[in-house]
Chains A and B, each alone.
Chain A
């Protein structure tokens, strides 16, 4: 038993954050550092005719000016996409090379084409202003809907199509549709989102000429992957001459997974100038150049029989990739999307086709949920719509089609094997918590005030902890998907934990310490968690896809078990008892049937002062594990939104939001609830407020917080949150992952509630007052 599992331990990292002692990248200043500013394209698409750097170079305080041509000449390669997707005809996806600084053509507004380093930030910015770049503006394809028929953006990539990908059995779906008694069809957009972590991206790079090493401090969710890509593909420096440190990071939500042009160019410039270089994005740069999320156009058709049983699902999606393939941009609308289209249901036949399309917009990549919110939106909107068309209670229609608890492990028609779950239980709990039975009375009360009240469900599933590595690599992943976890027990019995996961708000310093302290039966204060530094942690694949506890935490459990076993041998030897006769409980080794005892701390000291030691056993007490899961984990749950619409103004207010999630075993329920709150807020933001919009010429028209509506405190209600538990069957913690559930489940629940309130089939996200007002008037 691990006594710390399930405890709402207050976070240990909080004290530094609430007293202003956090250490974020921009808080780091190095002696003699210069400041970088980037020249960015004002055009969505243009040929770079010439760049005259004379004025910039002679600007007072400017110490370095480098263009894309300079980086190319120095052998700096393109930023790669790490997942190779194949089209249905067997061909590889078509990749447009993305140099860190554009050298010959710019392809989206905000794309950097030069870096200027100054003694001060003001000098660097003045240098950017003094650059004379001559562009020949070209026609752009900035609109996803017309991009395949629009002007060709990249040489050799016809119709701007990177890949046409498909999954599932088309013939089986056709057969299902032929015998269907009812068809429900929906066509909609999954709106483009801009992640907007409150900490902008930043970096500080330093070069040490004596060791020929670059140290790069940067806002990364996965510093080892950043180092690997910069070394192996970009050619910035050999891997052993490059240290990437990701200190406190102020939120990521996916947008800080990727390798970006700015830190690449800044690190290169630091070596070229032999002085540290610092760059911090302004918010407008974040809007323009962080990878955006979502942005799909989809038509979905659901075939049902007389009894409301799902027979088949057909999905056609056009996914916006932006101007270039970002680090994992190809995997999001394919393997992280199509594979989830079974949802919680026994739909026997599913077929999905996806066109991955280039446009002259910022690259699109993983944003909280990454493909799974888009899949959930498709399923849960069309299921709710089908229920309304058939006159069946939406919860009842879901129940009829749920995968039942005795059907696990359940193989879906879209290539996943769900290990466990109990969807009915989550839905029932959510209905009780949301007082669905009382909804008609609340609706009537709202109507008496002239308001329209609606209720909507979303029963989502997600796949977390992408795995196993062999499978992922066979499907095109460029890296493995294991995680490392090392535990060093110090001679005094304190413990240092090294994890390849990275925390940027998730609270690993607490949760992982709970796991390890509980395993060893020692106070949590004796456990230190180290992460985010390639110079201290051996290797790691970082934090995304709600993988940290299920994969990184499991690696630590395995390492802890190895340590406990070694301690059994050491203590058995000292207590003159066979190791298999030694029990380890609550931090004490006990020789069975005797009163001989050794504490964990005494065994640690004995391991490092091996005066009397088992023969053949190495001294020391340190173990590591690379844990490669056997399967994904499958968190699932039921979300219920209740909204009130003012028909006079079109304003939608979320009056209640209930989330009942099955995350498997929960280590720290306080942290888990917080993750759900944050995800739900982002999901409500997508449904009602947020839209990353470009005009026809490719200018971003939502490039500031004035134009891009992110939820504020008075846009949201308090949330009602609970969990059910079916432990994951294939990792030692039984944990599934909780980071993205809210953002995955919430949009469909809210939009089902909005359409219920309005009595219309569909409203586009975000359901702004104007759109709602028009929907009510059929305008």
Chain B
């Protein structure tokens, strides 16, 4: 079957099997390898992307379900020299080590920042509950999200 999706602002089309996952489409057909797979079962959050402006775990969304939608991946957020403030905050606060969970963590945290709610340490920790990081102990990730949200980190 054919799917037509807007990915990072550009219209894309691909021929996929009906059981193709969104993450397989992004990584395989579109070569967007910034989105990672850590568990295949929606537990780790490494595959988090934005679908019509909301974070989803792309290992649990069929490519077909994204038909006609806008998908934003980490590659569409900001580039070297033109980083999104959240990306910049991750570097500034040393919120990543191996970097594998980072794209999903950033895409998930965007929802928190754009929610408009007042963020503090507890709400950020609760909000990041769907994303595993094994390297940082989350300490600096929490600081990064608060920094990007304009809260006191």
Contacts and interface: CB of A to CB of B under 8 A. Distances in A.
Do A and B come together as binding partners? yes
Interface of A: 10-11, 13-24, 26-27, 196-200, 248-251, 253, 280, 282-283, 504-507, 670-671, 673-675, 677-682, 704-706, 710-714, 716, 718-719, 742
B6 to A, nearest CB: 17
Given A15-B83, A19-B34, A19-B75, 15 more contacts: A14-B90, A19-B78, A19-B87, A20-B33, A24-B36, A26-B36, A251-B97, A506-B97, A677-B138, A677-B140, A706-B43, A710-B134, A713-B124, A714-B129, A716-B138
Contact of A20 (B74, B96, B97, B137): B74
B132 A198 contact: yes
B54 interface: no
Given A20-B33, A677-B136, A198 B38 contact: yes
B44 interface: yes
B56 to A, nearest CB: 17
Interface residues of B, number: 55
Contact of A681 (B125, B126, B138): B138
B34 A14 contact: no
A714 B94 contact: no
A678 B100 contact: no
B39 A283 contact: yes
Contacts of A716: 125, 137-139
Contact of A10 (B91, B106, B142): B91
Given A19-B79, A198-B44, A248 B137 contact: no
A18 to B, nearest CB: 4
B40 interface: yes
B7 interface: no
B32 interface: yes
A250 B100 contact: yes
A361 B96 CA distance: 33
B110 interface: no
15 contacts: A18-B99, A18-B102, A24-B33, A27-B33, A198-B38, A199-B98, A249-B98, A251-B98, A671-B94, A674-B135, A674-B136, A677-B140, A704-B39, A705-B44, A713-B138
A266 B66 CA distance: 34
Contacts of B139: 677, 681, 716, 718-719
B34 A678 contact: no
Interface in B37-56: 37-41, 43-44, 46
A283 B99 contact: no
B80 interface: yes
B71 interface: no
Contacts of B134: 196-198, 251, 253, 678, 682, 710
B74 A19 contact: yes
A19 B43 CA distance: 23
A14 B80 CA distance: 10
B129 A713 contact: yes
A386 B137 CA distance: 31
Contacts of B33: 20, 23-24, 26-27
Interface in B60-104: 73-75, 77-80, 83, 87, 90-92, 94, 96-103
B132 A678 contact: no
A718 B94 contact: no
B80 A248 contact: no
A283 B91 contact: no
B91 A14 contact: yes
A332 B125 CA distance: 35
A507 B132 contact: no
A674 to B, nearest CB: 5
A38 to B, nearest CB: 16
Interface in B132-152: 132-142
A504 B98 contact: yes
Contacts of B96: 14, 17-18
Contacts of B87: 18-19
B140 to A, nearest CB: 6
A20 B33 CA distance: 7
Contact of B97 (A200, A507, A719): A507
A11 B133 CA distance: 18
B111 interface: no
A24 B103 CA distance: 13
Q: Which of B43, B98, B106 has the most CB of A within 10 A?
A: B98
Interface of B: 27, 32-41, 43-44, 46, 73-75, 77-80, 83, 87, 90-92, 94, 96-103, 106, 121-122, 124-126, 128-129, 131-142
A283 B92 contact: no
A100 B46 CA distance: 30
Contacts of B41: 283, 704-706
A505 B97 contact: yes
A14 B93 CA distance: 11
A251 B132 contact: no
B100 A714 contact: no
Contacts of A681: 136-139
Given A27-B33, A674-B97, A677-B137, A713 B103 contact: no
Q: Which of B36, B77, B124, B134 has the most CB of A within 10 A?
A: B134
Contacts of A706: 41, 43
Contact of B100 (A24, A506, A675, A711): A24
A414 B131 CA distance: 43
Given A674-B140, A705-B132, A710-B134, A18 B43 contact: no
Contacts of A200: 37-38
A677 to B, nearest CB: 4
B74 A199 contact: no
A714 B27 CA distance: 30
* Minimum-distance CB pairs A-B, first 3: A20-B34, A250-B100, A17-B99
A673 B97 CA distance: 11
Contacts of A505: 97-99, 135
Contacts of A15: 80, 83, 91
A285 to B, nearest CB: 10
Contacts of B98: 197-199, 248-251, 504-505
Contacts of B137: 677-682, 711, 716, 719, 742
Contacts of B83: 15, 18-19
Contact of B75 (A17, A20, A742): A20
Given A198-B101, A678-B136, A20 B35 contact: yes
Nearest to B17: A122
Nearest to B46: A198
B44 A713 contact: no
Contacts of B90: 14, 18
Given A200-B38, A671-B94, A22 B99 contact: yes
B91 A678 contact: no
Contacts of B35: 20
Q: Which of B91, B100, B135, B136 has the most CB of A within 10 A?
A: B135
A10 B92 contact: yes
Contact of B80 (A19, A504, A507, A673): A19
Contacts of B79: 19
A343 to B, nearest CB: 24
B137 to A, nearest CB: 3
A3 B43 CA distance: 44
A705 B43 CA distance: 6
Contacts of B141: 713
A23 B27 CA distance: 12
Contacts of A719: 137, 139
A61 to B, nearest CB: 13
A629 to B, nearest CB: 25
B106 A18 contact: yes
Nearest to B124: A713
B57 to A, nearest CB: 12
A283 B38 contact: yes
Contacts of A670: 94
A24 B46 CA distance: 13
